[in-house]
Structure 1
Amino acid sequence: MPVWLIWLIAALGLAGAEALTGDLFLLMLSGGALAAVGSNLIFDNYVIDGIVFLVVSVLLLVLVRPALKKRFIAGTGLPDRPKELEGKSALVLDRVARHEGQVKLDGEIWTARPLNDNDVYEPGDQVTVVQIDGATAVVQKVV
């Protein structure tokens, strides 16, 4: 088996293992192994391959990995959809009572229940979303 193929298999294996860890460490080693593939195709020398692997891996770990990790951590994340819906107006589609009801909220149909258990809202009523409880909108009558 050619040495460059061994380096390529190592690079792919390290990149695949990175998918399980998500720490970007193995991905940097995978980059070093890819550099060793190129080195082997040019020089065909085991010692040079090892040195290229070591140098490129260390450079990637020291220079690239911290910048990538910082960039990933700095992300704002996903929006909190339930919090965005609180305070919005909704249209009652099916009678909303203690254990039943549906409203149209932000273009979607949601199960709903009233904030006060004794309240009942009829189809066509406008209500305001007080909170989202799981997949249920807790609503009260628009005042």
Structure 2
Amino acid sequence: MDWLRDHLTETWLALAIVLGITEMIGLDLILLMLAMGALVGMTAAIIGAPFFVQALAAAGASVACLALVRPQLVRRMHAGPELQLGHGKLVGTQGTVTERITGLQTGRIMIGGESWSASPYDDTITIEPGETVEVLEIKGATAYVHPVPRLGT
């Protein structure tokens, strides 16, 4: 026990290393937060604080990391790009009208090199060939589109 008391800095560092390595197995970020607390305890030992102050500093830092840092890290790790599969990934893209589209007549558009049947999202408008449209919805094999406004017209 005298050795531990004489080598508290090394003991805190060894504890932090063991906790950090063990964290690699579980990847819960809990042991990593405890390792951060052990590093704070090591810092207190370097300063020359008594053991109970070192232990309180390590415990306080661990609790603070668990409460404040870990939730944000977990949220960031679990957040990722939203995957869109099938025709749903075309919603929001733009295409070019190849056949006239009216509320009464389904036309055709080109989206990403593919030809799609298209109807206007607003039944009262007519969209002529060559105009750029945005896909607002897809039902079955029909894209519901709205013309993209042009500057200066």
Q: CA RMSD in A?
A: 1.9
1:42 corresponds, among 40, 47, 59, to 47
State which structure, 1 or 2, has the greater radius of gyration over its C-alpha atoms: 2
User: 1:1-143 residue pairs with structure 2 within 5 A?
Assistant: 1=3, 2-76=7-81
Q: Deviations over 1:72-109 (max 9, x none)?
A: 0002399x9xxxxxxxxxxxxxxxxxxxxxxxxxxxxx
Structure 1 stretches of 4+ with a deviation exceeding 6 A read none
Match of 2:143 in 1: none
**Counterpart residue identity of residue 54, structure 1:** A
With normalisation by structure 1, the TM-score equals 0.52
Measured in 1, the distance between the counterparts of 2:54 and 2:35 equals: 14
Among the aligned pairs, what percent are the same residue?
A: 34
Partner of 1:111: none
**Separation in 2, partners of 1:23, 1:51:** 23
**Runs of 5+ consecutive residues of structure 2 not aligned to the other structure:** 86-153
Distance 2:79 2:28 in 1: 15
How many aligned positions are there? 79
Q: Residues 49, 77 of structure 1: CA spacing in aligned structure 2 closer, same or farther, 3 A cutoff?
A: farther
TM-score scaled to structure 2, two decimals? 0.49
| Unpaired stretches in structure 1, ≥5 consecutive residues | 81-143
| Larger strand fraction of residues | 1
Cα shift readout 1:5-31 (whole Å, capped 9, x = no counterpart): 000000000000000000000000000
